[in-house]
Chains A and B, each alone.
Chain A
Amino acid sequence: MSTTQTHAPALELRGLSRSFGPVHAVKSVSLSLYPGEVIGLVGDNGAGKSTLTRMMAGTIRPDTGQILVAGENRTFETAQDARRAGVETVFQTLALVPGLDIAENIFLGRELLVSGPLGDMTRTMDVATMRRRVQEGYERFGLGLPDIRTKVAGLSGGQRQVVAIARAVLWGSRIVVLDEPTAALGVKQTELVLSFIEQLRSHNVAVIFISHNMQHVMRVADRVCVLRLGRKVFDGQMSALTGTDLVALMTGAATTVEEVKTT
């Protein structure tokens, strides 16, 4: 994984800050994310994880700071802008329609039409191609999901999470931000999601993984970034740390790695 560090960052945050009235939710956070890297973003409640996520998703604007995608400065006015730039955020709401099947959900709002003027004029969908693409995605990422024609209403929580993430990568996003994808999932369901995140890494997708579960973070993350009261207090290789170290950093019992190591 260390080879990835030699490439340009897929996503770079430079000094992002955002306040809500008197509350400094995020204070000058910088972060670089490389292709094929999974960053665990952790922090106590109110640390600013979701606020940071929403800035990357384009749903709120930073007060100061810059967001660079593949080295290019970007301003996200809307969620659409972020998506178009290749940054896909999967919130806990998942944005899936239960009454549609998996393939339909994956292409929802971006349906492919039969090529040629006739297809355009009559708005005829190319259903076969859409299904094939989803099927290919299943195989490429080794998705353990039911048949692509299964209604999302009939899927479990973990399976839905996987569908939502799969949609992001099948649409070609190279940067995926996941806000607590394993919250409220059982053991087996969690495993489904975590193994999919590992698949993403091997397909060179850059992932920001937010979780309150240190075991999950330690399992999938290459690097970890700890936020506390809006500030980044740690950013480094996961391998150097234990779960206890992380908790110490999150709660402020320790403020530096050195301190962590000596306590």
Chain B
Amino acid sequence: MTRQQILTWIQRNGLFFALVLLVAIFSFASSRFLTLPNVTVILLQNAVIGLIVVPGAMLILCGLVDLSVGSVAVLAAVVFGQAMENGLGLPASLLFGLGVGMLWGAFNGYLIAINGFSPIIITLGGLAGARGLAEFITQGYTTYGYGPEFAFLGNGKLLGVPVPILLFLLVLAVGLHFWYRAPLGRHMIAIGGAKDTAAELGIPVKLVPFWLYVASGVASALGGLIVASQLDGAAVTIGTGMELEVLTAILLGGVSFTGGRGSLFGVFFGLLFVGVLSNGLIQINVSPYVEQVAIGAALCGAAALDMLYQRLERLQVPIDKEPIEPVTQGAGGGQ
């Protein structure tokens, strides 16, 4: 193998093997680590982030970003809580909660995707604004106690699998389908990597990101509702720092922050990597501060690999694959 091939291979599969290595180390250090209950715990702890990561990664692939996810999550939870408090009943309250996420997503999409506002500024505004709105609505008074039906969303099990994990896997499956098997995947790469070209070829360069923002809003709201269900209360702390956890998984997974390149499988491994790292370090009684340092180091490693890969991609003009012999036919003039 040439050095280039090795690098390409590392870029494509490095994270997966880092994950395997991490699991091996923790399994060796702690007999409790690789047990079904602990694996379930890891998945459960990351299911909510995982839900939001799927549309989030698609946005980044398009060269956009949604920083408002955590705040939309808490706003949805709070609106749900208020609706319950006012006796609207569970189905209507759930719809209100999800509807808030959808509206906020549509608002982001309208400004950013349709009108070309800066994604960072608008969703940073949402990060502050949606949470502020949530705090304003609650007036410091947290509603709680929504009954066993709602508790099922966060704590229930279907066929022995916790509901949040099922929801995450469902969203992931749909995401993988669209990423790899539907035209949308290619269209997102085109939008993120060469927007003018995409537009020229008739790809809906505004509508695709618009709907992705809507999806991100709905997923964030669903995440907020799941956490509210687990806490049995619409606490204003829901979703704090969520945007960073989402971004970490996506960027660790190798999606280029400038758009146009990345794999959803990679993002899934990125999510598991963070989950395994934090869980494993707790299992072997290492200070939680180490976790942050380790994640930071992993991100830097991913960034370095990404840079090497980009350089390599530019170098990759296959000189050895130059066409065989050109077809020489009668030159111009020959009638």
What is the interface of chain A, defined by CB distance below 8 A to chain B? Answer: 1-2, 40, 79-80, 93, 95-100, 104, 108-109, 111, 113, 122-125, 127, 142, 144-146, 150-151, 153-156, 159, 188, 191-192, 194-195, 198-199, 202, 217-222, 237-239
Are B317 and A124 in contact, CB atoms less than 8 angstroms apart? no
B147 contacts chain A at the CB level, 8 A cutoff: no
When chains A and B are docked, how far (Å) is the Cα of A195 from the Cα of B190? 29
A122, A153, A237, A239 — most chain B CB neighbours (10 Å): A153
Within the complex, the shortest CB–CB distance from A121 to chain B, in Å, comes to 11
The residue from B194, B323, B329, B334 contacting A98, defined by CB atoms under 8 A apart = B194
B contact patch SS: loop
Known contacts A124-B181, A144-B323, A146-B318: A218-B201 contact under CB 8 Å:
no
Known contacts A97-B194, A192-B323: A198-B329 contact under CB 8 Å:
yes
Note all chain A residues with C-beta closer than 8 A to B322: 156, 188
B193 contacts chain A at the CB level, 8 A cutoff: yes
Note all chain B residues with C-beta closer than 8 A to A96: 194, 197
The residue from A124, A127, A195, A238 contacting B326, defined by CB atoms under 8 A apart = A195
B116 contacts chain A at the CB level, 8 A cutoff: no
Within the complex, the shortest CB–CB distance from B334 to chain A, in Å, comes to 7
When chains A and B are docked, how far (Å) is the Cα of A2 from the Cα of B334? 10
The residue from A109, A146, A202 contacting B321, defined by CB atoms under 8 A apart = A146
Are A218 and B331 in contact, CB atoms less than 8 angstroms apart? yes
What is the interface of chain B, defined by CB distance below 8 A to chain A? Answer: 177-178, 181-184, 186-187, 189-190, 192-194, 196-198, 200-203, 260-261, 313-314, 316-318, 321-324, 326-329, 331-335
Are A99 and B193 in contact, CB atoms less than 8 angstroms apart? yes
Note all chain B residues with C-beta closer than 8 A to A144: 323-324, 326
Note all chain B residues with C-beta closer than 8 A to A100: 186, 189-190, 193
Instruction: Please provide the 10 A-B residue pairs with the shortest distance between their CB atoms, ordered closest to farther.
Output: A144-B323, A109-B201, A154-B316, A218-B332, A111-B183, A123-B182, A239-B333, A191-B326, A99-B193, A195-B327
Within the complex, the shortest CB–CB distance from B214 to chain A, in Å, comes to 17
